[in-house]
Amino acid sequence: MIAELGHFALVLALAMAIVQFALPLYGAHRNDRVLMNVAAPAAMVQFTLVALAFAALMHAYVVSDFSVQNVYENSHSAKPLLYKISGVWGNHEGSMVLWVLILSLFGAAVALFGNNLPLELKSRVLAVQGSIGLAFLLFVVLTSNPFIRLDPPPIEGNGLNPILQDPALAFHPPFLYTGYVGLSVAFSFSVAALIEGKVDAAWARWVRPWTLLAWMFLTVGIAMGSWWAYYELGWGGWWFWDPVENASFMPWLVATALIHTAIVVEKRNALKLWTILLSILAFSLSLVGTFLVRSGVLTSVHAFAVDPERGVFILGILCIFIGGALTLFAIRAPVLRAGGLFAPISREGALVVNNLLLCAACAAVFIGTLYPLGLESLTGDKISVGPPFFNLTFGPIILPLLMLVPVGPFLTWKRADLSSALQRLWAAAALALLGGIAVLAVHQRGPWLAPVGIALGLWLLLGSLAEFAQKLQLSRTSWSSSWSRLTGLPGSSIGMTLAHAGLGIAVMGIVAITAWKEEHIVVLKPGENISVAGYEVTFTGETPLTGANYTGSTGAFQVTRNGAQVTKLVSEKRIFQPGGMNTTEVGLHQTIMGDLYVVMGDRMNDGGRAMRMYFNPLVSLIWLGAVIMFAGGILSLSDRRYRIGAPKPSLRRTIAPAE
Amino acid sequence: MRLLILLVAILLAVPAVAVQPDEILKDPMLESRARALSAELRCLVCQNQSIDDSDAPLARDLRIMIREHLVAKETDQQIMDFVVSRYGEYVLLKPRLTGSTLLLWGSPFAILLIAGFALWWRRAPNAATEKPLTEAERAELRRAMTPEA
């Protein structure tokens, strides 16, 4: 019964999406306030209905209602509650319902918090948002319905893949989807602005917080996925340039460009067209990512051709929205006048370079991800594009960007003096260079990447701090005056410092694990030990392991350093029944200086065990950096100017003297 | 996400140590060359994994084969050519620059250069159209900037 209610709510939500799309759009065209006022309640009702459907599906999972096919295929009554809940989005149908839920949540949020928006703009934004909801609700109802019943109902479900029963992965999809789908708001604002033919500073002030929010969730979502891969896949890698990863990385790159260029529109009324285009591109890449992951085209072009229903549907949605938005852009672009002028060397100029490099880097990822698909469907030739390609194309493009990051904030708007900006950075540059030289002195024979990369990371970190110190005038005035400057700083300013510093920290982590990872592949018998990066790791023995649905063995390790006990680690080998799937659980000892990472392998003929031991120096900085970037986003969102809303265009002045 | 799930299922459906201790060559120079080579070769039965990371038996066979060729004093180029002749271009994670991959390797940089050039070219009118203030405008500005008594 509850599943049917959910199904019914989903179809009602579809009907509500039609209302939310059609009436306000027509109303805005006819300047009919009644019709325009339909938009906000429609968005909220649509969200409520989708939330009801989602809750019904979750209920089916929690009570293990195996008469629902989706639950039967993806759940099991013996699963812990957390994984019953996360099982809802651990499959295609459920994850699409989550997608639509987040989409309608953003719609409702715009309806709720958008009171300071002009009614026309608000109703158009919500109408576009409704049209996206309409397309994806149709997709769910027609091709991916999660509420289909089974008769007779099976006794027990098939269960969720055991390695996915992991806390980091349970919350990875909601974060990632919030990021993906959050970019729809910027898209809707852009399409609405194109229909109106008006983009101004106020528009940018409305768009930026939404994009920032989406960017923050994308950042954390990507970091969670990478962290999961790091400790669950068992060979210490953290990024694989896998198409699924690239699908989330591309919108992140463009969203990063967008949150920068929106500042230029807000402060200087320039780059308006480019910002509109960028927000269309950002959401388009989200759609492309959804297509790549959901259509099965990545597994094989042939599998896609055999069962194309879902893929073709999403491809259709893709073409309508991307094509439609770009056509509208082409028609309306000439109407939108370019605004403020600026010299090449200026804050605006720096942000243009930022956008240029981010977009080119995104293009490299895009081409590398899609080229093999295109080539195979056109010529039948199969090629592989793997990490070496991305390192050689993405790397050289992103490197100059990282070098320029600290310089940008020192440049003034409109026209800047580069030499004075660089003068203020000399201390940061000198310290970063010193750091690089220190690395060179310690690791003389390492790869060239290490000293250069660490210097770069330090330059990012110290450069951001230098800019912060400059704002507080730390060395020039008294502490109390600096303190009052600090409390007076807008949140977005501190947010920027944090985000840039977080980037520097992440870069150092990436460089350290790439250049200095220590790896030992050995055979150990119980009682034998090996030295890993100053740790003595002793294999103390193994015990048989019996879990709910697996058997295996647990290897125990004693870790000491200079004779003193540091920790005990265990690494497990599990064999799941039925199916005989093998998994490993990594033994992980984390410190800020690096992670000791112990993996037990197969039993060898001589009675020993194959072991893989890593020391991954500074690797946690990668995720620490992502968390700091997220925190920067929060501070930036707390900025007062987003709460009080954008200044109203001064209509009164033109209306008042009419008498 | 389902694809990721599938991918992970495939990755972990096999024992979990990639390079086995018995494969490692005595000569550290040769071994590091072997590792570098295997990081650039695709495991043909896995999802987007190099043979260096993979635990599949086929990947192990390939790793051992590479090491045999290295011990036989072949160059990296010779070994790669041999692997490609046996398994096709698909095995290379770093595609070779040929007619059909020219666009792949070239376009990221072409996009950067063309867009960069276009921006540079368009910059000129921006700077030129900015006229200096007239004397009347200066006076107006001074008046506006002076605090009223």
What is d(CA A60, CA A53) in angstroms, rounded to the nearest whole number? 11
Residue A147 confidence (pLDDT) above 70? yes
Residue A555 confidence (pLDDT) above 50? yes
**R_g (Cα) of chain A, nearest Å:** 27
* Token code pair at residue A493: 């300013």
Q: Which residues of A83-108 are buried (b: 16+ CB within 10 A; e: fewer)?
A: bbebbbbbbbbbbbbbbbbbbbbbbb
Chain A segment 156-175 residues within 8 A of B by beta carbon are 161, 163-164, 172-173
Question: Any idea what the Cα angle at residue A168 is, between residues A163 and A171, rounded to 5°?
Answer: 110
* Token code pair at residue B108: 């990221």
Confidence of residue A445 (pLDDT cuts 50, 70, 90): low
Q: Is A388 on the interface with B (CB under 8 A)?
A: yes
What is d(CA A227, CA A519) in angstroms, rounded to the nearest whole number? 19
Contact A72, A66 (CB under 8 A): yes
Interface test with B, best of A352, A356, A383 (most B CBs within 10 A): A383
Residue A328 confidence (pLDDT) above 70? yes
pLDDT of res. A579: 64
Confidence of residue A300 (pLDDT cuts 50, 70, 90): low
Chain A segment 285-314 residues within 8 A of B by beta carbon are 293-294, 296, 298-299
Q: Which residues on neighbouring strands pair with residue A583, listed in sequence order?
A: A574
Q: Is A379 in Cβ contact with B100 (below 8 Å)? A: yes
Contact A16, A49 (CB under 8 A): yes
Percent of chain A at pLDDT exceeding 70: 93
What's the mean pLDDT in A110-127?
A: 91
**What is the β-pairing status of strands A609-617 and A518-524?**
antiparallel
Residue B15 confidence (pLDDT) above 70? no
Confidence of residue A135 (pLDDT cuts 50, 70, 90): very high
**A17-21, A362-366, A482-486: least confident range:** A482-486
**A21-25, A131-135, A223-227, A336-340: least confident range:** A336-340
**A52-66, A199-213, A238-252, A334-348: least confident range:** A334-348
Q: Is B101 in Cβ contact with A383 (below 8 Å)? A: yes
Q: Is B15 in Cβ contact with A244 (below 8 Å)? A: no
Residue whose token pair is 């940018």: A204
The total number of residues written for chain B in this structure: 149
Distance from CA of A168 to the nearest CA of B (A): 14
CB contacts of A356 in chain B (<8 Å) are 112, 115-116, 119
What is d(CA A494, CA A516) in angstroms, rounded to the nearest whole number? 33
Q: Is A521 in Cβ contact with B8 (below 8 Å)? A: no
pLDDT of res. B131: 67
What is d(CA A311, CA A296) in angstroms, rounded to the nearest whole number? 7
What's the mean pLDDT in A404-418?
A: 88
DSSP A496-563: HHHHHHHHHHHHHHHHHHHHH-EEEEEEE-TT-EEEETTEEEEEEEEEEEE-SSEEEEEEEEEEEETT
What is d(CA A433, CA A462) in angstroms, rounded to the nearest whole number? 11
SS3 content of chain A, % helix, strand, coil (to 5): 65, 10, 20
Contact A619, A230 (CB under 8 A): yes
Q: Which of A271, A265, A321 is nearest to A291 (CA)?
A: A321
Nearest residue of chain A to residue B5 (CA atoms): A164
Q: Is A389 in Cβ contact with B93 (below 8 Å)? A: yes
pLDDT of res. A643: 60
What is d(CA A554, CA A572) in angstroms, rounded to the nearest whole number? 4
Close Cβ partners of B91 (under 8 Å, ≥ 6 residues apart) = A384, B41, B42, B44, B83, B84
**What is the β-pairing status of strands A564-576 and A609-617?**
unpaired
Contact A629, A503 (CB under 8 A): yes
Distance from CA of B94 to the nearest CA of A (A): 5
CB contacts of B15 in chain A (<8 Å) are 582, 601-602
* Token code pair at residue A447: 């790869």
Q: Sign of the C-alpha dihedral, residues B21, B22, B27, B32?
A: negative
Question: Which tens digit of pLDDT belongs to each residue from A17-31?
Answer: 999 999 999 999 999
Q: Which of B128, B103, B109 is nearest to A356 (CA)?
A: B109
Q: Is A381 in Cβ contact with B119 (below 8 Å)? A: no
**What is the β-pairing status of strands A535-546 and A609-617?**
unpaired
pLDDT of res. A326: 94
Question: Which tens digit of pLDDT belongs to each residue from B67-116?
Answer: 999 999 899 999 999 999 999 888 999 999 988 899 999 999 999 999 99
Interface test with B, best of A98, A181, A384, A530 (most B CBs within 10 A): A384
HEC assignment per residue over A437-490: HHHHHHCCCCCCHHHHHHHHHHHHHHHHHHHHHHHHCCCCCCHHHHHHHHHHCC
In a 10 Å sphere around its CB, with 0-12 CB exposed, 13-18 middle and 19+ buried, how is residue B133 labelled?
exposed
Close Cβ partners of B8 (under 8 Å, ≥ 6 residues apart) = A161, A163, A164, A232, A233
Distance from CA of A436 to the nearest CA of B (A): 25
Contact A128, A22 (CB under 8 A): no
ipTM value for the complex:
0.83
* Token code pair at residue A384: 């592989």
**A134-148, A396-410, A537-551, B14-28: least confident range:** B14-28
Nearest residue of chain A to residue B118 (CA atoms): A356
Q: Is B15 in Cβ contact with A522 (below 8 Å)? A: no
Of B12, B91, B126, the CB nearest to A583: B12
Q: How many CA atoms lie within 13 A of A427 on its CB side?
A: 9
Residue A193 confidence (pLDDT) above 70? yes
Contact A405, A459 (CB under 8 A): no
What is d(CA A594, CA A617) in angstroms, rounded to the nearest whole number? 4
Contact A548, A644 (CB under 8 A): no
Mean pLDDT of chain B: 80
Mean pLDDT of chain A: 88
What is d(CA A178, CA A33) in angstroms, rounded to the nearest whole number? 31
